Structure 1
Amino acid sequence: MDKAYETHYHDLERSHFWFKARRNYILQLLKDVPKTANILDIGCSSGLLLTDLKNQGFNPNNLYGIDISKKAIANCKQNGLQNCAVMSADTIKLDLKFDVLIASDCLEHLQNDEKAVRNWRHLLKADGKLYIFVPAFQALWSQHDVINMHYRRYTEKQLLNLVTNNGFEQLKSGYWNALLFIPIYIARKLGKLKATKNETSKSNSSGDLETLPSLNPIFLGLLNFENRILKYVRFPFGVSTYCILAKAEKDSTR
């Protein structure tokens, strides 16, 4: 990842509506997990989700994170998270087994996603759970994906095929960020059209991660509302797709 963009990314992840709302939804999904659980955040960035978990009463000694970025792990240490290390998400080597693995917007960065999923399976306890979030729909592919060094976007079906073919059983799945899907889809299509017509002299170097001081609280409120109604509503589309998984009784990896 470009160093200037990485700095911009870390500056925004604390306050940007998209990051905050996604962390809120993950916390909502984890509300029944015991506070003593061993949790690994794969692609933990600056450790803000781990900090949220610590603030909600989870034992900080049982909270772990890995990230490929040295800067991200340095930020984790500055944020008081000591169980974090620089490591590639597809070849994690730890002596621990975990109750919970969280891979939030990580899998799309890995060239061999099957290898990663198989690696993650071996890190889980027999009754452990894996929570995955990834960008959805190749139709939303844009300069944002290029800057973030994504290999792909997924449909819910594609994500579930990947994980169930590699040793997991589906507990829950769906789409997230459905309420902003249409405006984001239109914005990205217009961005491609402008680029095709050479109306811009250079690509957007920050992707979709712009500071939106006036709109940020509005969008945050909208996505927090969506988080609440996802208990009762299942959307057929979204900017992200996710699943919660358990280890299959028999290893179905190929």
Structure 2
Amino acid sequence: MDLAYETKYHELEEQHWWFQSRRDVVFSLIQDLHLSKEAAILEVGCSGGPLQQRLRNEGYSNLTGIDLSESAIALAQQRQIPNVQLMDGARLDFTDASFDVVVASDVLEHIEDEQQALREWLRVLRPGGQLLVFVPAFNLLWSEHDVVNHHFRRYSGEELRTALTRAGLKVKRLSYWNSTLFLPAAAVRLLQRFRATPKNLPSGDLQTLPGSMNGALLALLRFENRLLRHVNLPVGISTFALAQKSA
């Protein structure tokens, strides 16, 4: 992503409603796997480490985080998060069958060679290991936010399923996330396409919001996250899949 945008990203990732609610649902999905607290978990794209912190606080002891951003890893190290390192998510420096779970939240869309990344994630999973992957949904929602984040693509659910299956993974669960805000977001994106093209550089969606608004949006998404414990959602701003390596 653009360097100026990355700075804002790191400033907001701990308290912003989007990051908090997505971190909540990722954490919930990991808990639902009923792993041993010693299970080996790799987070690809760990950023400044807030998910690593939460997992460690809940007793998970065998955690590894990687990120391609030097500033992200430096921030994680400043937060005294152990076992984080600079590494390309599509070219992992780990031996085969090293991890029980690989988590990649909003990473795959940043990698040009999608299959290279998925094959690497499959390679480092142990037999029966699981991959949890979140990606932005629907080309309909493509915007300046994708440009500034250096995205190569957005995914429908079936496109994500096809990519995972092609890489040799078995999809166990597929759903959308952030259905609550899908219609407003789609309306905004369509309106943006009809406006005059701005001459300034593209900007992303991250904005600092008043505490009350941030809290209201967080509560809204946390309610949806509770629903996701029981049902898959048919539409959303993101899509996610839980996939498994053959045992």
**TM-score of the superposition, structure 1-length normalised?**
0.92
What is the aligned-residue RMSD (CA, Å)?
Answer: 1.3
Secondary structure, in 3 states, of the residue corresponding to 1:30?
helix
> Which residue in 1 is equivalent to 2:117?
116
Counterparts of 1:235-246 in structure 2 under 5 Å? 235-246=233-244
Query: Which amino acid is 1:230 matched to?
Result: L
Is the Cα contact below 8 Å between 2:128 and 2:246 reproduced in 1?
A: no
> Is there any run of 5+ residues in structure 2 with no aligned partner, and where?
none
Is the Cα contact below 8 Å between 2:147 and 2:202 reproduced in 1?
A: no
Counterparts of 1:176-191 in structure 2 under 5 Å? 176-191=177-192
Which whole-Å CA distance do the structure 2 matches of 1:68 and 1:115 have between them? Answer: 16
Alignment match of 1:224 (pick from 222, 225, 229)? 222
Counterparts of 1:129-140 in structure 2 under 5 Å? 129-140=130-141
1:4, CA displacement in angstroms?
1.4
Deviation above 3 Å: which 4+ runs of structure 1? none
Which whole-Å CA distance do the structure 2 matches of 1:116 and 1:5 have between them? Answer: 24
The alignment covers a number of residue pairs equal to 243
> Is there any run of 5+ residues in structure 1 with no aligned partner, and where?
250-254
> Which residue in 2 is equivalent to 1:164?
165
1:142, CA displacement in angstroms?
0.2
Identity across the alignment (%): 43
Residue 37 (1) aligns with residue 39 (2): yes
> Which residue in 2 is equivalent to 1:53?
55
> Which residue in 1 is equivalent to 2:5?
5
**TM-score of the superposition, structure 2-length normalised?**
0.94
Output one character per residue of 1:151-190: Cα deviation in whole Å (capped at 9) or x when no partner.
Answer: 0000110101111111111111110000010111112222
Is the Cα contact below 8 Å between 2:172 and 2:241 reproduced in 1?
A: yes
> Which residue in 2 is equivalent to 1:69?
69
Deviates more, 1:133-142 or 1:207-216: 207-216
